[in-house]
């Protein structure tokens, strides 16, 4: 998400407030959902100022570009997968970083961090933090660079007003673009945001309410391989774009008066072409109407990260495509066979499938006969059972976890009571 786009978006919203309101609700979708972020990150020291761009590594480490304007150095905040704002986050900040007029941030699969700072792209080493120098930098040819994207191989794409420049991996100095996408047929009306998918296809979001996909070698006035426009995107300001590990395309949308805007995140299938979204996140519980400006990124398990400019917070949403979670681990029954009580212990599933665990269920049986069933809160990891409630002999206990998607696979542990 680039700073120019945020200003333009605010101006558009102000015009809408003046009487040109585009009426309507959330985008038409096969599955529109509204749920709250499971995590909101605020800086307890109130140093967040203008969170204009966001990127995330497969391990969930999140980088947020903060460009408040004025004198001084801009920041790239570093948030861990479980960051909640209670501890002050680390950041890349200081004179050695050379971060001024910061517009966007991106990461590659090797963990390197890319910052678009004016007409400079600065690349920082994996794990960089503090007042550190970039490992390399280069100057782009764009007249008005505003956003960037990095492919998994390290190619860098940068926006200009009416074209997109793509630079080869590893460049330094003032290189010529490896290729430039743009021309009269494409008629870009201000390129807003970019994203590469795993195949090297470049997705371009522009101010004509459309998202265009280009082949890995596309150049000049190329014909898009994919076009997403109209329908769910019609009449919306398109704010940002992201691609997940399954190459699904996420589009952040905004419209309505600035006093009460509508906002949504629509998701299209991999390789989408002139079709409706698979799913849309929209509604009051999502808090998107209170934080419509900012960027989006998607981590390896499909959780959505949203940098909210005005609220100065980062929202984390569970994946829109949850799956059945894995089984509980390390189930064991402790205590002597003649003891009055036995204790069942377990470890939560390694993969929650993208939804929080709501409860655990334990079922005690002798053969096919159920002796006792108990449902426990999600923070429980053990349960003591009186042997007087059971029977003597060879017994089993089955342990399962439950999310909104359903029950995990069964784990059965045998034990004996005398």
Instruction: Give the pLDDT of the chain (418 residues) as one tens digit per residue.
Output: 554 444 444 433 333 333 333 334 445 445 899 999 999 999 888 899 999 999 999 889 999 999 987 777 999 999 998 898 788 899 999 999 999 999 999 999 899 999 999 999 999 999 999 999 999 999 999 999 999 999 988 999 999 989 999 999 999 999 999 999 999 999 998 899 999 999 999 999 998 889 999 999 999 999 999 999 988 888 889 999 999 999 999 999 998 777 778 899 999 999 999 999 999 999 999 999 988 888 999 999 899 999 998 889 999 999 999 888 899 999 999 999 889 999 999 999 988 888 889 999 999 999 999 999 999 999 999 999 999 999 999 999 999 999 888 999 999 999 999 8
Helix (H/G/I), strand (E/B), else coil: 302: coil
295 and 367 both lie in a single domain: no
Residue 265 belongs to domain spanning: 3-317
Both tokens of 117, joined, read: 């700072």
Answer yes or no: is 324 within a domain: no
403 and 298 both lie in a single domain: no
Question: Can you give the CATH number for the domain in which 362 is found?
Answer: 2.60.40.10
Contact 356, 402 (CB under 8 A): no
Domain count, the chain: 2
Answer yes or no: is 360 within a domain: yes
365 and 273 both lie in a single domain: no
340 and 254 both lie in a single domain: no
Residue partners of 296: CB distance under 8 A and separation at least 6: 1, 54, 240, 241, 242, 250, 252, 265, 304, 305, 306, 307
102 and 65 both lie in a single domain: yes
Please state, in angstroms and rounded to a whole number, the distance separating the CA atoms of residues 238 and 217. Answer: 25
Answer yes or no: is 181 within a domain: yes
Answer yes or no: is 100 within a domain: yes
In this prediction, residue 346 carries a pLDDT of: 97
70 and 93 both lie in a single domain: yes
105 and 145 both lie in a single domain: yes
Mark which of 296, 317, 338 sits at the end of a domain. Answer: 317
Spatial strand order of the sheet with 294-298 comes to 39-41, 313-317, 304-308, 294-298
Question: Can you give the CATH number for the domain in which 296 is found?
Answer: 2.120.10.30
Mark which of 269, 290, 317 sits at the end of a domain. Answer: 317
Answer yes or no: is 401 within a domain: yes
Residue partners of 23: CB distance under 8 A and separation at least 6: none
Please state, in angstroms and rounded to a whole number, the distance separating the CA atoms of residues 237 and 304. Answer: 19
348 and 304 both lie in a single domain: no
């Amino acid at each position: 998400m680039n700073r120019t786009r945020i200003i333009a978006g605010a101006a558009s919203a102000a015009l809408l407030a003046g009487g040109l309101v585009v009426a309507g609700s959330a985008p038409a979708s096969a599955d529109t959902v509204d749920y709250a972020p499971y995590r909101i990150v605020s800086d307890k020291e109130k140093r967040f100022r203008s969170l204009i761009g966001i990127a995330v590594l497969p391990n969930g480490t999140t980088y947020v570009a903060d460009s408040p304007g004025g004198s001084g150095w801009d920041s790239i905040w570093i948030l861990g997968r479980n960051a909640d704002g209670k501890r002050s986050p680390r950041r890349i900040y200081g004179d050695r970083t050379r971060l001024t007029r910061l517009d966007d941030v991106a990461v590659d699969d090797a963990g390197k961090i890319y910052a678009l700072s004016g007409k400079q792209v600065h690349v920082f080493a994996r794990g960089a933090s503090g007042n550190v120098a970039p490992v390399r930098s280069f100057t782009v040819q764009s007249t008005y660079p505003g956003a960037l994207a990095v492919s998994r191989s390290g190619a860098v794409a940068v926006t200009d007003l009416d074209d997109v420049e793509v630079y080869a991996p590893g460049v330094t100095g003032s290189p010529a673009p490896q290729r430039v996408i743009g021309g009269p047929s494409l008629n870009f009306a201000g390129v807003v945001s970019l994203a590469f998918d795993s195949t090297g296809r470049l997705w371009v979001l522009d101010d004509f309410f459309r998202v265009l996909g280009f082949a890995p070698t596309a150049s000049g006035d190329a014909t898009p391989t994919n076009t997403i426009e109209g329908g769910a995107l019609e009449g919306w300001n398109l704010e940002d774009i992201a691609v997940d590990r399954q190459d699904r395309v996420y589009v952040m949308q905004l419209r309505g008066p600035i006093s009460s805007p509508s906002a949504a995140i629509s998701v299209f299938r991999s390789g989408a072409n002139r079709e409706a979204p698979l799913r849309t996140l929209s509604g009051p519980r999502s808090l998107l109407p209170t934080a419509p400006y900012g960027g989006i990124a998607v981590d390896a398990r499909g959780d959505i990260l949203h940098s909210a400019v005005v609220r100065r917070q980062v929202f984390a949403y569970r994946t829109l495509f949850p799956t059945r979670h894995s089984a509980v681990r390390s189930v064991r029954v402790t205590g002597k066979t003649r003891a009055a009580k036995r204790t069942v212990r377990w470890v939560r599933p390694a993969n929650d499938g993208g939804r929080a665990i709501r409860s655990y269920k334990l079922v005690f049986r002798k053969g096919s006969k159920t002796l006792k069933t108990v449902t426990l809160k999600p923070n429980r990891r053990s349960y003591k059972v009186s042997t007087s409630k059971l029977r003597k002999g060879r017994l089993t206990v089955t342990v399962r976890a439950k999310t909104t998607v359903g029950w995990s696979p069964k784990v059965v542990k045998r034990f004996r009571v005398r």
